Amino acid sequence: MNTPSSAMQDSPLDVREIEPSVLSATRPFYWSVRRELWENRFIYIAPLAAGAVYLFAFLISLIWLPHHKMRALGALDLAHQHEAITQPYDFAAGLFMATAMIVGVFYCLDALYGERRDRSILFWKSLPVSDVTTVLSKASIPLVVLPLLTVALTAVTHFIMLLLSSVALRANGMSVVNYWAQVSVFQMSLMIFYHLLTVHVLGHAPFYAWFLLVSAWARRAAFLWAFLPPLAIMAVEKIAFNTSYFANMLGDALSGGTESVSLPGSMPIHPGMQLTPGHWLLSPGLWIGLAVTAAFLFAAVRLRRNREPI
């Protein structure tokens, strides 16, 4: 705090006063995210393990793949050939996405609950890190860290799959050129990135924010509080009015709506898939979802400020 006399002093003092405030915006956030990764190593270990298991299974499938089946592939028409070749790639991407979703849900449910249960919240609150910074850094795990990790791991896995397949084809005396023409790792990565951004990040943001809110609120059994109330709403709506608007709404939000791509519901690397980002940006569902996310996160910040160790 400035007493009048120190405020009157020369400018270098003012510069030093400004520096910490700039510092306070980014550094605590960066360190808070690092801290989350220290505490929850499963955030990267689970996807890495899933990738390793998948590559192992893929390798075995290549070794056991009968020679005549590979030949038969060449006889298929282009569309079916493409489908047969890219299916394992689709599957790998889907596996990483599913892993990231499961990790994200469990992470969020524990994020603001665990620190109250083990009383470490008293330590975190003894440091100059605001509740906003803390909650946003925790929200960034499912919304930034996990999607980026998913894109990177998928691209690396796809590349390794491409190499393994090429070796297998060569070993069978077949040309790899046709195969390479069907598989474009870079293009697939772009499509996966778009899919993650539209569906898994912006589409699912309200769900993760809800889980964070529950974890900031619950005194016990955060998992039950996260899932039972929505189920109860669905049940009541179904029994009372015999409608399922709420369930449909959640389903739409989960599938990422129908606006971002021309073929909603199919895998992101489908050949006929057209991206429709303009259409998606104008869809009300996106903006309603973001408003709900902001409201949930705001409530989580308020709760963290008020809540005491359990």
Partner 1 sequence: MACIEARGLRKAFGATIALDGVNLRVEEGRIVGLIGPNGAGKTTALNAILGLTSYQGKLRVLGRDPWTEREQLMRDVCFISDVAVLPRWIRVSQVLEYVAGVHPRFDRAKAEGFLAKTSIHRGSRVRELSKGMVTQLHLALVMAIDARLLVLDEPTLGLDILYRKQFYDSLLNDYYDRSRTIVVTTHQVEEIQNVLTDVMFMDRGRIVFNCSMEDCEARYLEVMVHPEQAVAARALKPMHERQALGRNVLLFDVMQSQNRVDRQQLATLGEVRTPSIADLFVAVVGNHAGNQASEIKGAAR
Binding mask 110-129 for partner 1 (x = CB under 8 A): -----x--xxx-xx-xxxxx
Report 1-20 residues binding partner 1 (CB under 8 A): 1, 3, 20
Joined tokens for residue 115: 């620190």
| Least distance between partner 1 and beta carbon 129 (Å) | 5
What are residue 275's phi and psi, to 5 degrees? -80, 140
Cα 197 to Cα 30, 34, 148, 201, 277: the distances in Å are 21, 22, 10, 5, 11
Judged by beta carbon, residue 120 or residue 172, the one nearer partner 1 is 120
Joined tokens for residue 120: 């470490």
What is the residue whose two structure tokens read 């995210």?
Answer: 33
| Least distance between partner 1 and beta carbon 31 (Å) | 4
| Least distance between partner 1 and beta carbon 124 (Å) | 8
| Least distance between partner 1 and beta carbon 24 (Å) | 8
What is the residue whose two structure tokens read 């029994």?
Answer: 239
Report 28-47 residues binding partner 1 (CB under 8 A): 28, 30-32, 34-35, 38-39
Kindly state the number of chain residues that form the binding site for partner 1, as judged by CB under 8 A. Answer: 30
Which residues, listed in sequence order, are joined to residue 261 by a DSSP beta bridge? 275
CA atoms of 112 and 268, how far apart (whole Å): 33
Closest CA to 187 of 210, 217, 155: 155
| Least distance between partner 1 and beta carbon 39 (Å) | 6
What are residue 151's phi and psi, to 5 degrees? -60, -50
Span from 22-30, 163-171, 196-204, 221-229 in contact with partner 1 (CB under 8 A): 22-30
Contact between 27 and partner 1 (CB under 8 A)?
yes
Write the DSSP symbol of residue 76.
S
SS3 112: coil
| Least distance between partner 1 and beta carbon 302 (Å) | 11
Interacting residues with partner 1 (CB under 8 A): 1, 3, 20, 23-24, 27-28, 30-32, 34-35, 38-39, 115, 118-120, 122-123, 125-130, 133, 305-306, 308
